[in-house]
Amino acid sequence: MGGREGLVDTAVKTAETGYMQRRLVKCLEDLCCQYDMTIRTCTNDIVQFTYGGDSLDPIFLEGKDQPVDYGRIYQHARAKYRYDAEHPLNGTEMNNFIGQQLKLNEYSIMDEEYRTQISNFIQKVSLTVDKFRKKYSIDNSMPAIKEEQEEEEEQELKSTRANKRMSTVIAHRSNKKQRSLPNVLYEVERCTQSQLYEFLQLCKYKYGRARLEPGTAVGALCAQSIGEPATQMTLKTFHFAGVASMNITLGVPRIKEIINAVKKPSTPLITAELMNDSDQLFARKVKGRIEKTYLGQISQYIEEVYECDDCYLLIKLALDRIHLLQLEITPMSIIDSIVLDKKMKKLKYNQLSLHAPDTITLHVPDSSKGSMYYTMKRYKEILPNIVVKGISTVDRAVITLDDKNGIKYKLFVEGEGMRDVMGTQGVDANKTTSNNTMEVYRCLGIEAARTTIINEIVYTMASHG
């Protein structure tokens, strides 16, 4: 059975991804890079001012989405271009030289961000150089020059005829031999001004090579880059390990949802960062404000009471359960929720009364239109399903622990209502995200929706290798 299912899944998946790729190609086939480096359609409409935000061709990128692997190029420049006759630079001199060079018009073709990355890399290297030179007390003198100085001092010592200074001369000579450093130490972390210049030239060359050429059909490349990996996907759902059986749709179905701009995805998920992400108790309180809580979940029982002269519904609250779940619920807030519920038609505040901190009574009005008995039964069915706390469009919220960078709690919220989640007390609205593209568009605008599409496609692709 498993083999049949796999064959059917492969056949259906190939057809779906093939049609999806065809639609993408037809939609994006006219996108092209112009000579002003903007991406335009055949009708000259601008889609992007810079391709990918940096105008770099992914084919020529090195390392992690960078045009240059700085560490490798730096070591290459030091090994290939020796410049043995030059004095090595210390950390301060390296930083000053790089700062002066990057201000020249020669390097103006490189973006400000790229030049800042080069400067930051050299700053890290300079710290290593200074640390090494300080450890072994290395100055800027070259080994050959130091040998000449030592020979001159030796001749001076030999010409000394004062016997009274002979002991001082011998002690000075022995200390000098102890302090002399092997020549190999002058080669470790050695960098000259010419080597730094060659390093900058290599960086400039690689950056210019990585720039996108005008006329590149970037639309077809984009469609193929999404369509081809989609044919390799097999899994449909992904399980969050240790998170209360929470599944999210991935693979081909998720890619289809993103491309088709589905208004209601199969597994909508909101990721909410907390203002105080190191306190578990704080996270539980925020969860109680977001996750919808029904009256039936916090009640011991809801019973019908019939007396000689009166009949009513008795609601017994479980206060210990409310306290344990860190719910900010009071009997008066419960009464408000009951009266304001749409299903409780024509219910007035005077029909509800609080007899004890954990006891609420609901008196059914005497109506000539229907039997009081059936009205009691109907209210008894409705009451357990009334939302007394939380966001009604949220199914549930789960607290997750991220211990990669220390203890950090955040919430995964299943359901919709991103605007309500962002407005909840204790939630950091600036770091709250959703995988529902249309909801992000309605809440934050078109640019946020574009970023969501990019992030979701990258996440889905990464989940499948």
How confident is the model over 398-411, as pLDDT tens digits?
888 877 777 788 89
Q: What pLDDT is recorded for position 98? A: 92
- What's the rounded Cα separation, in Å, for the pair 455 and 2? 33
Averaged pLDDT for residues 119-144 = 79
Angstrom CA distances, 95 to 82, 195, 196, 387, stand at 20, 13, 10, 63
- Cross-sheet strand order for the sheet of 394-401: 394-401, 409-415, 269-274, 427-434
Q: What pLDDT is recorded for position 238? A: 54
Tell which residue, 289, 322, 266, 276, has the closest CA to residue 389: 289
pLDDT of 139 strictly over 70: no
Q: What pLDDT is recorded for position 164? A: 44
Tell which residue, 299, 344, 355, has the closest CA to residue 322: 299
- Is the separation of the CB atoms in 127 and 91 below 8 Å? yes
Q: What pLDDT is recorded for position 311? A: 82
pLDDT of 88 strictly over 70: yes
Phi-psi region of 40 (alpha: psi -120 to 50; beta: other; left: phi over 0): beta
pLDDT of 240 strictly over 80: no
Averaged pLDDT for residues 134-139 = 76
Q: What pLDDT is recorded for position 148? A: 52
| Identity of the amino acid at 30 | D
- What's the rounded Cα separation, in Å, for the pair 144 and 131? 23
Q: What percent of the chain has pLDDT over 70?
A: 83
Confidence of residue 32 (pLDDT cuts 50, 70, 90): very high
pLDDT of 58 strictly over 50: yes
pLDDT of 200 strictly over 90: yes
Averaged pLDDT for residues 427-447 = 92
Q: What pLDDT is recorded for position 448? A: 93
Contacts of 157 (CB under 8 A, 6+ apart): 169, 172, 173
In DSSP terms, 353 is beta-bridged to 361
Contacts of 91 (CB under 8 A, 6+ apart): 126, 127, 129, 130
pLDDT of 33 strictly over 90: yes
Where does 257-338 show beta strands of DSSP type E?
A: 269-274, 293-294, 299-306, 311-317
Start-to-end C-alpha separation, the chain? 27
Confidence of residue 146 (pLDDT cuts 50, 70, 90): very low
- Upper half-sphere CA count for residue 241 (Cβ side, 13 Å): 1
Q: What pLDDT is recorded for position 249? A: 81
pLDDT of 168 strictly over 50: yes
Residue ranges in 1-83 assigned as alpha helix (H): 2-28, 70-80
Compute how many other C-beta atoms are within 10 angstroms of the C-beta atom of residue 248: 20
The dihedrals phi and psi of 107, each to the nearest 5 degrees, come to -105, 15
Q: CA-based diameter of the chain, in Å? A: 134
Q: What pLDDT is recorded for position 162? A: 47
pLDDT tens for each residue of 358-405: 888 888 776 645 677 788 888 888 888 888 888 888 888 888 887 777
Q: What pLDDT is recorded for position 134? A: 84
Confidence of residue 157 (pLDDT cuts 50, 70, 90): low
Averaged pLDDT for residues 40-68 = 88
Tokens of 59: 């084919």
CA 369 to chain CA centroid, Å, is 59
Averaged pLDDT for residues 44-50 = 92
User: Mean pLDDT across the chain, nearest whole number?
Assistant: 82
Which segment of 35-39, 179-183, 444-448, 460-464 scores lowest on mean pLDDT? 179-183
